[in-house]
Amino acid sequence: MKLKEILGIDIGGSGIKGAPISTKNGKLLDKRHRIPTPQPSTPENVANTINELVKLFRWKGAIGCGFPAVVQNGMVFSASNVDKTWINTDAGKLFSETTKLPVWVLNDADAAGIAEAKLGAGAGFKGAMMVIAIGTGIGSAMFINGKLYPNTELGHMNMKEDNIDWETYTSDSTRKREMLDMEGWGKRLNEYLNYIEFLFSPELIIIGGGASKKLDKFKPYINLQARVLPAHFLNDAGIIGAAMAARINLKEK
């Protein structure tokens, strides 16, 4: 199986985007295409949308998918921004059967983190590093000396005083819904990132997801000991990292 070029797909709560990726350098080999996440976002509906992307790119090779949930060996064990029927679904098997192609599935933030840790803003970094993907929800990826600790899902920790999670308080979708300006949103993000720093003391925090394009607008309100950088691959990190993860894991099978 040729794994130098893999179709990377990033499944989100509002959109599913993909592009063929060179796993050697992370470059997109075709223009990225985005399809709105189907509603309801059931396993069957999402699988059919994945197949739409496969047909659009006329893809015949391997596929890597980032998925917004706890994922272990292709099995989905949570569902915060997708339909609850995903819980205990074998996403890898479902997508492979639907597309008739080999598919590797992992947590979406872990996928973005792999791209940044291996080829992006964190390439070559030694020490404790966090990638925080901020978009419809909040995802997290944790690395020690370049090695991933998977499925951290730190956006779903409850806030201390309130019975809501940090994602509900801080995500980009919350910013839009509550019409927060950059100062108001930045201060919320600062609260969240300070809590992350209190728990894990990362030396480097990389901001990914849609928020990576806005970092210069809210960074003045971020006050941390850790160095803060935007994702090198911006909102493409998820599809690039999904392809890179597929290359590693499908090769091992």
pLDDT per residue as tens digits for the range 137-167? 899 999 999 999 999 999 999 886 677 899 9
Both 89 and 129 in a single domain? no
Both 195 and 84 in a single domain? no
Both 156 and 104 in a single domain? no
Both 75 and 89 in a single domain? yes
CATH number at residue 140: 3.30.420.40
Length of the chain: 253
pLDDT of residue 80: 80
Both 121 and 45 in a single domain? no
Give residue 162's domain range. Answer: 112-234
How far is the C-alpha of 44 from the C-alpha of 54, rounded, in Å? 15
Both 117 and 218 in a single domain? yes
pTM of structure: 0.92
Both 141 and 208 in a single domain? yes
pLDDT per residue as tens digits for the range 31-59? 999 999 999 999 999 999 999 999 999 99
Side by side, which strands form the sheet with 71-72? 71-72, 75-76, 89-90
How far is the C-alpha of 247 from the C-alpha of 111, rounded, in Å? 12
